[in-house]
Structure 1
Amino acid sequence: MKAEHAARFREIRDKVENQQRLTLDDGLFLYDPEVPLQEVGQLANLVRERMNGNVGYFNINTHLNPTNVCVYRCRFCAFRSDLRDPKGYLMSDEQILARGQEATENGCTEMHIVGGLHHKQPYEWYRGIIELLHTNYPQIHLKAWTAVEINWFEFQTKKTKQWVLQDMQQAGLGSMPGGGAEIFHPEVRDQLCEHKADTHQWLQIHQTAHEVGLRTNCTMLYGHVEKAYHRIDHLLRLRDLQDKTGGFQVFIPLAFHPENTKLSDLKKPSALMDLRTVAVSRLMLDNVQHIKAYWIMLGIETAQAALAYGADDIDGTVRHELIYHDAGATTPQSLSVDYIKHLISEAGRDPIERDTVYNHVVRDQQDFTRWSSGEPVGASV
């Protein structure tokens, strides 16, 4: 590292060691290729261990994408379909219940539910999915609907964000995923998805969710047309909202997969970029407790390495994931619990199963499918 870079990095290290907040300029510096990735990773690991100890969290979860028919045509999406396209589908109640039964039989604690905005399906159909699953499988935590979907439900019902979120809560909604954030800066967002919920709407919906008692995740889609400035700007906007509400429980950096999208001429981000983004995210988001290395998008090996670069969570078994596999993800469709534990242990971390809102999961020793939520994970760090 050049002398001036080394001096600047020492300043940032001093800030981090003294738990002082990093600035936009600090974040841009950490993205400079001249700054060794290993140094950035070691600094992020310092924060990771200070906040979360030596554990690596995982959960047992399944995905449900009730339809891929969507009114929007986001350039980065390979999942969506037109109504009359042969690949378009709409799941029946019987199919949805079968997925809930399968989840229960496999000991899943969470169902992650997102999909297309089907212009022929009323709001009541979306609400009905939550109610149907919650009524029949009440123990499974339903993490559902991105802010983009909530925004669509506002449009459908002509009701407020708060009304929609509370109505979904009454139906059985447990928390919200962080999808739809993409990149907040309008220079980039307008290129990717100009018609769907904008940055202001996304942030407002998550703020309202936090205010009505819903915990939510937050994300960033990187490795397409954005620059380092846009990534840091995105992280700072998330950090600002977290200062207000404290409602984000985990941040997930999402690596862009270009195959089968309208940006298929781009190269997917390298493993080095993936690890740097995980590390910089850990350093910038000093008020978000957890950073997830989502193995579906990063690949298993990179996600495992990310446990030394700021991440403390590797996601879960992830049955039936479609959105990123449609975009060319070559990772398996699901992983076994034993293999996930092995990955975490091999990385030198202690595997801990958690539920969606980061409580310890206590399994029945005689029957793996029977479980309960214990104390919050932070109590043992």
Structure 2
Amino acid sequence: MNEIYEKILDGGRIDFDEALRLYTETEFHDLAHLAHRVRLAKHPDPVVTYVVDRNINYSNICVCCCKFCAFYREPDQDGGYVLSFEEIGQKIDETLALGGTQILMQGGHHPDLPLSWYEDMLRYIKAEHPVHIHAFSPPEVVFWSEKERIPVAEVIERLRNAGLDSIPGGGAEILVDAVRAEVAPNKCPAGQWLAVMEEAHNQGLRTTATMMFGHVESVEQRLEHLFAVRDVQDRTGGFTAFIPWTFQPDHTELPLCRKLTSVEYLRTLAMSRLVLDNVDNIQVSWVTMGPAIAQLGLSFGGNDFGSTMIEENVVKAAGVRFRLSREEIHRLVESAGFTPRQRTMDYTLLEGAG
């Protein structure tokens, strides 16, 4: 084990077996120490970044029926909606007034909206609002590709030409098909998720990657996910950040899954930093873990505090509600011993936005 520690501290790359040993055998605080050392090697300045943005879920109508999701509605079910472009525009104006620089947009797999509707939405936003559009997810892209019978590359090109600036890492869950078949059988398999991201990178779009863990997967499968992301990043360098967050079982079709402990979350966060040696930024998840544990995560490899999340609907539908203002993020980051800095999606620091 000491050889593995020394390899990491010398800047070496660990393999799957070494990662599994670290995950299962390393003492909690030793793992934190290793992850923090790697974080400081990548980011020597005591800065923790965050972004001011808003989650806009343009529709909750979805035919995927994922067992872990409490947010979606089936097409003819009460409570389904599609926002008008004007409603989306109003939400963007509110975001810009609060100092926001981007919007995160994701929705369900709506069976009746053509790809042209999404192109029109992007063009409307770009014509009316000066904002970075961080939108859609690989499963949505695959869904439209199959629905319109066109290649994934063409879907991405059309969205990019209409105004898409970057793609969030949603829909990854666990990038192992055995897990996906159990919790999201109608969602694209792992290989397609990864291929969408690789194609987006090849077309010049930056993206993030996520991992929703703590449902039916094993520790080994979490690591498989990390190594799959690392492999794509080796080829493209297109991922700006990795965001691991915990499954929230309430109001889902997996209610018997227990909520993970803070220790389990922090171990996984630390392992993300140690495995993903080629991804610059690791984001803590205050949305699912709460502000105090997210603050602690800054000593377990995390260097980014995520978003102010002016609006968030998906996790909230599972009964978890945390809200943080820009001022609260500053207080949490500063009391953890770091300097908060507002950033853009590609981690450019904003001048005068300390």
Q: Please, what TM-score do these two structures have when normalized by structure 1?
A: 0.90
- C-alpha displacement of 1:330: 2.8
| Equivalent residue runs for 1:5-84 within 5 Å | 8=1, 10-32=2-24, 34-53=25-44, 54-84=46-76
1:96 matched to which residue of 2?
88
Matched position secondary structure for 1:361: coil
1:354 alignment partner, one of 340, 343, 346? 343
2:310 matched to which residue of 1?
319
- C-alpha displacement of 1:91: 0.7
Asked if 1:168 is matched to 2:154, the reply is: no
Between the aligned partners of 2:242 and 2:57, the Cα distance in structure 1 is 21
Asked if 1:179 is matched to 2:170, the reply is: yes
Q: Which runs of 4+ in 1 moved over 2 A?
A: 362-365
Structure 2: unaligned runs, 5 residues or longer: none
- C-alpha displacement of 1:123: 1.3
CA contact (8 A) 1:236 1:284 kept: yes
Q: CA RMSD in A?
A: 1.3
Asked if 1:345 is matched to 2:337, the reply is: no
Between the aligned partners of 2:185 and 2:105, the Cα distance in structure 1 is 24
CA contact (8 A) 1:59 1:109 kept: yes
2:268 alignment partner, one of 251, 257, 277? 277
Matched position secondary structure for 1:218: strand
- Larger displacement relative to structure 2 (153-162 or 305-314): 153-162
Structure 1: unaligned runs, 5 residues or longer: 1-7, 366-381
| Equivalent residue runs for 1:1-381 within 5 Å | 8=1, 10-32=2-24, 34-53=25-44, 54-138=46-130, 140-332=131-323, 335-363=324-352
Letter of the structure 1 residue corresponding to residue 271 of structure 2: V
Between the aligned partners of 1:155 and 1:188, the Cα distance in structure 2 is 22
Letter of the structure 1 residue corresponding to residue 351 of structure 2: V
Matched position secondary structure for 2:86: helix
- C-alpha displacement of 1:349: 0.9
CA contact (8 A) 1:146 1:176 kept: yes
Between the aligned partners of 2:335 and 2:22, the Cα distance in structure 1 is 28
Letter of the structure 2 residue corresponding to residue 50 of structure 1: A
Q: Please, what TM-score do these two structures have when normalized by structure 2?
A: 0.97
Matched position secondary structure for 2:349: strand
Between the aligned partners of 2:194 and 2:353, the Cα distance in structure 1 is 39
Matched position secondary structure for 1:250: strand
CA contact (8 A) 1:74 1:193 kept: yes
Matched position secondary structure for 1:62: strand
Between the aligned partners of 1:206 and 1:56, the Cα distance in structure 2 is 26
Instruction: Please list the CA deviations of residues 20-70 of structure 1 after superposition, one character each: whole Å capped at 9, or x if unmatched.
Output: 1111111111221x5311110010000001101221111111110001000
- Larger displacement relative to structure 2 (90-99 or 244-253): 90-99
CA contact (8 A) 1:316 1:340 kept: no
CA contact (8 A) 1:62 1:319 kept: yes
Between the aligned partners of 1:86 and 1:96, the Cα distance in structure 2 is 21
Matched position secondary structure for 1:360: coil
Letter of the structure 2 residue corresponding to residue 175 of structure 1: S
CA contact (8 A) 2:342 2:349 kept: yes
Matched position secondary structure for 2:351: strand
Between the aligned partners of 1:324 and 1:249, the Cα distance in structure 2 is 23
- C-alpha displacement of 1:266: 1.1
Letter of the structure 2 residue corresponding to residue 348 of structure 1: G
Letter of the structure 1 residue corresponding to residue 325 of structure 2: S
What is the number of residues matched between the two proteins? 353
Instruction: Please list the CA deviations of residues 81-113 of structure 1 after superposition, one character each: whole Å capped at 9, or x if unmatched.
Output: 012222211111221111111112111101000
